[in-house]
Amino acid sequence: MKDAESQMLNKILNDGEKINLMDGSTWQINPGDMPTVCTWIPTAEIEITRNNEDPVFNYTLVNKGIEVSVRAMRLR
């Protein structure tokens, strides 16, 4: 993965526990960030960057439309 990549949000799963992006990838959301993800809407542009500060949720996903970020772990 490059420094930053953008994808479109496809759907939110299990009350914000996971999200699915248009490229088919699925992301586990940090439990503390689940309420934030629940406010996002499908088709939102999501910027993905690596975050080496957290060994588990090692990516930061930014909703570019509202400039809000959450921590996540890529599942597939």
Burial of 36 (0-12, 13-18, 19+ CB in 10 A): middle
Listed residue (34, 29, 30, 63) closest to 46, CA to CA: 63
DSSP 3-state assignment of 44? Answer: coil
Q: What parts of the chain have a pLDDT lower than 50?
A: 1
Q: pLDDT value at position 31?
A: 97
Dihedral sign for Cα atoms in the order 72, 7, 11, 33: positive
Q: pLDDT value at position 2?
A: 53
pTM metric for this prediction: 0.92
